[in-house]
Chain A
Amino acid sequence: MFNFRSYAKAGSVQEAIRLLGENPDAHLIAGGTDILVKLHKGKAQFDHLVDIHDLAELNFITQNDSGDIIIGPLVRFTQVAESELIYQHIPILSQAVLTIGGPQVRNVATIGGNLCNGVPSADSATPLIALNAAVTIEGRDGSRQMPLESFFLGPSQVALERHEILTAITITHDNYADYFGHFHKYAMREAMDISTIGCSAVCKIKDGILQDLRLAFGVAAPIPIRCKGTEDKVRGRKITPKLLTDIANYVSTDVRPRTSWRAAKEFRLQIITTLARRVVERALLNAGGIIQ
């Protein structure tokens, strides 16, 4: 038996906000594949749960009239992977979520939970920040939107007040149209593993020129990060082998990997440099680029 002290099931987003407001120690539980593991290990921080596991109003994948793709936070990874809409427009996300856990976990774990845990290894985070995704947050005082990139504050810390709840993830049309991408997860095993390093790149090219690059890494810093220094340096450059070498060289100034039991800092840096080159190369090829 899990050892939590109170449990309330929310029937709506508004009820979840109210329940969170009534108890400052309360935590939302969605898919449960992280929180129940922590409870099993006896962590006391999840003593009071507000349950949104089956809240249908937060489980949707839609496209609005402007072409923006909007994903509800309670969408399961399997739903993301099987969504035609996502595969057609932002296949980098379909690719990334299939590297998470195994089938049983992906059938239950939610994309919103992955983001709200705030861990640097969240595999859905790097494709989404490479796509300039925005998050919608609702609380007592109404609704607000912010870039997903600024949502991550530190290890296990995200920009949610105690009474707030993530209600949507939006990828606007201009942020994915004409962009092509690639994702790679470096881990010790092919499944059921945590990223040693995760890398996402999306790019837009025209007439052999790199118009735009957005490069993101997981586990390369205390939060999932974008490599904006590198991106700024290479925008407008010709697509050549030298460009890839430069990207690999520049990227080390954008990252701050650390040593953990999983990998040493130096090893992580090596992987980051290698992936920067390989993942951007694949993204360029996916965009129809010829590297010469």
Chain B
Amino acid sequence: MNRQIRLTVNGKKKEIRIDVRQSLLEVLREQLGLLSVKQGCSVGECGACTVLIDDVPIDACLYLAVWADGKTIRTVEGESRDGKLSSVQQAFVDEGAVQCGICTPGFVMAATSFVEKHKQQKVSRHDIRRGLAGNLCRCTGYDTIVTAVQKCLDDDD
């Protein structure tokens, strides 16, 4: 049940052979070596495997790899530029929004999409919590994560 698919991953065009039974999570981790995409619950509840497909956050565990054909994928590996962290990544560092780290790549991607969608809009902390409701963190209590996102939204650049 193999298929050839073409996709853009973190700005690079790829043509790969996949099995239609594979999730995008498996292909990104095992074939493309993108280990930031974490396998958590595998049933779309924890958000640890969040990646952006055409700039929209999805759970890679509940997404067949074959559906990524022709699409553009972003993972945390592609977010920094020339050794400089993205504004969302930097805000997570600055606010101490990381503890054990397993949820962090998924949170960064969900937050990146939220910030891109709501830049310069008036957004409450409750709105941010709703926007990140698909990601679980068992360490931070979320406050520092919400603050990091708030900071990115308030930034002018």
Partner of B62, one of A3, A37, A41: A37
Instruction: Give Cα A17–Cα B50 distance, bound, in whole angstroms.
Output: 33
Instruction: Give Cα A33–Cα B58 distance, bound, in whole angstroms.
Output: 10
Segment at the interface with B among A96-104, A117-125, A204-212: A96-104
Does the CB pair B134–A103 fall under 8 Å?
yes
Given A33-B62, A107-B58, A2-B23 contact (CB < 8 Å): yes
Instruction: Give Cα A41–Cα B43 distance, bound, in whole angstroms.
Output: 9
Instruction: Give Cα A51–Cα B66 distance, bound, in whole angstroms.
Output: 10
Does the CB pair A108–B63 fall under 8 Å?
yes
Does the CB pair B19–A32 fall under 8 Å?
no
Partner of B20, one of A7, A104, A108: A7
B119 CB to nearest A CB, Å: 17
Does the CB pair B44–A190 fall under 8 Å?
no
Does the CB pair A7–B110 fall under 8 Å?
no
Number of interface residues of A (CB under 8 A): 27
Asked if A188 is an interface residue, CB under 8 A from chain B, the answer is no
B116-139 Cβ-contact flags toward A at 8 Å (1 or 0): 000000000000001111110000
Given A7-B20, A104-B47, A107-B56, A36-B64 contact (CB < 8 Å): yes
Does the CB pair A4–B57 fall under 8 Å?
no
Does the CB pair B21–A1 fall under 8 Å?
yes
Does the CB pair B133–A190 fall under 8 Å?
yes
Q: Which residues of B contact A290 (CB under 8 A)?
A: none
Does the CB pair A108–B62 fall under 8 Å?
yes
Does the CB pair A36–B62 fall under 8 Å?
yes
Give the nearest-CB partner of B71 in chain A: A54
Instruction: Give Cα A103–Cα B64 distance, bound, in whole angstroms.
Output: 18
Does the CB pair B21–A103 fall under 8 Å?
no
Q: Which residues of B contact A1 (CB under 8 A)?
A: 19, 21-23, 26
Residues of chain B in range 88-147 having any CB-CB distance to chain A below 8 Å: 110, 114, 130-135
Binding site for B on A (CB under 8 A): 1-4, 6-7, 9, 32-33, 36-37, 40-41, 51, 53-54, 78, 101-105, 107-108, 190-192
